[in-house]
Amino acid sequence: MGSSHISIHNKAFKPYLSAAQLDEAVRGLAARLSADYAGREPLFVVVLTGAFMFASDLLKYVSGPCEIVFIRVASYEGTGSTGTVQEILGLREDVQGRHLIIVEDIVDTGTTMHHLLPTLQANGPASVEIATLFFKPESLRHELSLRYVALEIPNDFVVGYGLDYDGLGRNLPDVYVAV
């Protein structure tokens, strides 16, 4: 990882986590998931767009049979968030009796997961867990069970490895933090 700062939309960011550090954290999380779900054939439900890089790397390291589906969560009316999940776009699989693992890039306030979980649970899965790359415990506003957290981070704004700043920065292999 380069030691230089970057600028996105005139906002400065400094290096925070290297691709190697991210890979180590993702491998560790994948090992836990592989052990916990051995023989179960879980369905990984990836929340787009931010989790695409994390999900790709995570699934490379998960051993055993599993399926993956990509969803988008619609919670907007016009230009403002309603604060509730209106629709899960892309989930066509029958989840009844399945072990679901929601793959999220970052859990900060927990609002998305707070509203997504009941929607998924209403469809009768055997279990639902969250696997997140980043967790900001200081930001959490909703009680959530987070068994699978790759990295806990402070309440700072981060970009890279799938996370963006106004649409840019998702393609960065490292993670940067706003200065």
Active site residues: 108
Report the chain's terminal Cα–Cα distance, integer Å: 17
C-alpha to C-alpha distance for 3 and 63, rounded to whole angstroms: 34
- What would the two tokens of residue 170 be? 């998702």
List 89's β-bridge partners, or say none: 72
Contact, 108 vs 140, CB < 8 A?
Answer: yes
Contact, 44 vs 61, CB < 8 A?
Answer: no
| Secondary structure letter of residue 84 according to DSSP | S
